[in-house]
Copies of this chain bind each other. A is one copy, B any other.
Amino acid sequence: MAPRVSEEHLKQRRANIMSAATNVFIEHGYERTTMNHVMDAAGVSRGGLYQYFSNKEDLFEAILEERLSDEAVNTAHMLKTTESHWDLLMQLLFGEEGKPDAKMDSLAPSKLEFFITGRNVERRREYGRKRYELGVRLYADVIKAGQDSGEFSNRFDSELIARSIITFIDGLALEDAILAENAVQLEKQSSLFVEYLKMAMNV
């Protein structure tokens, strides 16, 4: 059995690479980022990088997965203790503050590129679908729990509401990536969508 210290150390190095790579993807987008950029940013050798990630796709998927699984773990934990499923839903949507703001996830344009340029590759497509379903599950679980507790109306199916939330976020991310600054009115649009949800769920 390998010593525990070494395992911790390897984990930490992997985390450092992912953190540096995230910044590189944010700066250059998915297509234009190369493994060389990541080596430079993380201060590791080619061997040091490829020990953890076999290519750019592998590295990007690891970043996406970590983010989604962090959210899933947090949400599952909070579902057990929360008194307001609405607050939890708003935090899931807008981060800790739970309020719409004018900021978009800075990795969003890279994610769009990743899925759109790869949309005709079966593996990428399947990966996108799995990820989409996980996202739907995450929101649907919170909505369902709120419906079961009587906090939300049962009028609409929790999973369908969850899908509509993700569709709206995807639309905002797309427009934010494509259009000139401020054209999208992120904050106002998000606030209006929250009103739609309130009416649909009778909050």
Residue numbers of A with Cβ under 8 A of B are: 109, 112-113, 115-117, 119, 125-126, 128-129, 132-133, 156, 160-161, 163-164, 166-172, 174-175, 177-180, 183-185, 188-189, 192-193, 195-196, 199-200
**Contact with A180, one of B125, B169, B175 (Cβ below 8 angstroms):** B125
For the complex, give the distance between the alpha carbons of A170 and B189 in Å: 14
**Contact with A174, one of B170, B183, B188, B200 (Cβ below 8 angstroms):** B170
- What is the oligomeric copy number? 2
Please determine whether A193 and B164 come into contact, CB atoms closer than 8 angstroms: yes
- Looking at chain A's contact residues, the main secondary structure is helix
For the complex, give the distance between the alpha carbons of A119 and B179 in Å: 8
**Contact with A199, one of B175, B185, B199 (Cβ below 8 angstroms):** B199
Residue of B nearest to A136 (CB): B183
Please determine whether A183 and B129 come into contact, CB atoms closer than 8 angstroms: yes
CB distance from A144 to the nearest CB of B (A): 16
For the complex, give the distance between the alpha carbons of A165 and B188 in Å: 13
**Contact with A185, one of B160, B184, B185, B196 (Cβ below 8 angstroms):** B160
Please determine whether A180 and B129 come into contact, CB atoms closer than 8 angstroms: yes
Contacts of A128 in B (CB 8 A): 178-179
For the complex, give the distance between the alpha carbons of A169 and B193 in Å: 14
Contacts of A195 in B (CB 8 A): 156, 200
- Sample of 18 more A-B contacts, CB < 8 Å, known A164-B192, A171-B171: A116-B116, A116-B174, A119-B177, A125-B180, A126-B180, A129-B179, A129-B183, A132-B175, A156-B195, A160-B188, A160-B192, A163-B188, A167-B175, A168-B171, A170-B170, A170-B171, A170-B174, A199-B199
Residue of B nearest to A126 (CB): B180
Please determine whether B125 and A119 come into contact, CB atoms closer than 8 angstroms: no
Contacts of A168 in B (CB 8 A): 164, 167-168, 171
Please determine whether B174 and A189 come into contact, CB atoms closer than 8 angstroms: no
For the complex, give the distance between the alpha carbons of A188 and B161 in Å: 10
Residue of B nearest to A156 (CB): B192
